[in-house]
Every structure is written in structure tokens, then in C-alpha cells.
Amino acid sequence: MHAWRVLTITLLVALVAACASRDKAPSRPDRDGAPGKRIHASDVKDAVPEPEPRARYGNGPTYEVWGRTYTVMPSASGYRERGVASWYGTKFHGRPTSSGEPYDLYKATAAHRSLPLPTYAEVTNLDNGKKVIVKINDRGPFHSDRIIDLSYGAALRLGYVDQGTARVEVRAITFDDRRADRKLPDDTYLQAGAFKSKDSARSLEKALEKGRVKKVDVDRDSGYYKVFIGPFRQLVDLEDTAARVVELGYERPHTVRR
């Protein structure tokens, strides 16, 4: 084969390969690490603790990883522990956490092996005194020498991104001790859905009633047929009902005033 033909074929192969490489979507990184976009610790806000029902996913009562069985705690009340924290970043960014929420490396979240999902916790770096409040919505770390795995953002707040690990204290923030006697205004309801179609609203109403959710009604408001549950007089009743709706496979209803 003439040299010029060899050169032409070689150039064509290289051109096709280059185009294929350019058109191919970038793959996820094989190794974990910090993002290319560096942010300041002040850009990462504390998670805001609020009463939530247990997530539909990731709450056991037991699960197995790498041949080892882990038990999920029945409650986070009173939990406080000291140990080593690590962090995770780009490899998992955008992927579902164990609770089903997408992992956002820039938010203050964390992974824990046994606390209920979600649990809010205050994490303190014992070497420098820095603190961050995180929402625990994932499982891990599965290394026996670590007690919690923080998001990149949370680790940045605590000042140990470059070191990789830090000695921390983790203290759970719970609502169990004060929710039972917290009273609500008489016009407090849960809204389970809003539909253009009345039939769709009625269908949800019947499904909730079949699932033993009480005091469900449909009302037309601002052009939508809305499905309400309530009213509620105490926070504990509202939270238990919201948890029941989630157990039935629906999104958590939000609190409204009517």
C-alpha cells in the first residue's frame, strides 16, 4: 500500500475517534474527590432541623454490606458519639442516597451506618471547635474506624477537606421529647395533593381512606381540587398522619392553614 494511502487512512481513523470522543457524554469519575468548582465554607449553610417521618428507604430494620449486617437504631434520641469522620464528594454527586434523596456535595448532609433516616445532627470538629448541622440521609461509612461520612460541603465547614478525616463529636437533634404536647392552631391541615381533575382528587381521597387515613376531604381552591387531611390539634397527630401517607407510597403532604 502506498505511503500516502496509509497516511490518509490513519488521519481518517484519528478524526473519527476524535469526533466520537467529543460527542460521548463524560463518564462519572472512578475515584472520589473534591469538585473542580471550589467554594468557600461560608457558602455551605447548616441543615435546618424539622420533624420528618422516616424515609421510605434505608431504614432497615437491618441491612447487609460487604457480608456484614447492620442494625438501624429505633430512635436517634440521646445519641452522642465521638470518633473519626471522613467525607465523600464527586463520585456520588447526583446519585440517590440510601433514603432516595439525590446527593448534593455542596449541601450539609452526611451518611451514618445506624441512625434513622433522616436524622439531624450537630457535628463538631474536636481539633478546631468548628461546628455544622447536617441532615443524615445516607448509609456509610463502612470502615470500622470511622463513625460518620460528611458531604464535601459539611467537611469544608469543619475545615478538614484537605486532611481527609477529622476527630469529631456527633450529637443527634431530635424532637421526640417536645412534640407530644405541642398544640397547633385549629385551622392546621395536611395537603396531600392538588389536581385539575376532580376525579383524580377523589381517587386519592378514596385511596387514603382505604389506607386508614382519617378526616380526608376534597375542596376546590384557586382552580384546583385539593385533597386535605385534618384538622389537627397536636403536632404528634399531624406527624403520624404524614408518616402514614408516606408509608402508603405517596409524597409527604405539606402543612397548610385553611
Determine if the pTM surpasses 0.85.
no
Q: What pLDDT does residue 192 have?
A: 95
What whole-number distance in Å separates Cα of residue 181 and Cα of residue 136? 26
What whole-number distance in Å separates Cα of residue 166 and Cα of residue 253? 38
Find residue 151's DSSP bridge partners.
Answer: 88
212 phi and psi angles, rounded to 5 deg:
70, 30
Q: What pLDDT does residue 176 have?
A: 60
Q: What pLDDT does residue 13 have?
A: 35
193 phi and psi angles, rounded to 5 deg:
180, 160
Q: What pLDDT does residue 77 have?
A: 83
Phi-psi group of 66: left, alpha or beta (phi > 0 → left; psi -120 to 50 → alpha; rest → beta):
left
Q: What pLDDT does residue 254 have?
A: 86
Q: What pLDDT does residue 74 have?
A: 87
What whole-number distance in Å separates Cα of residue 122 and Cα of residue 131? 7
**Which residues touch 100 (CB under 8 Å, ≥6 apart)?**
55, 56, 57, 58
> Do 136 and 120 form a contact (C-beta atoms < 8 A)?
yes
Q: What pLDDT does residue 83 have?
A: 95
pLDDT < 70: residue spans in the chain: 1-30, 176-181
The three cell numbers locating residue 59: 431504614
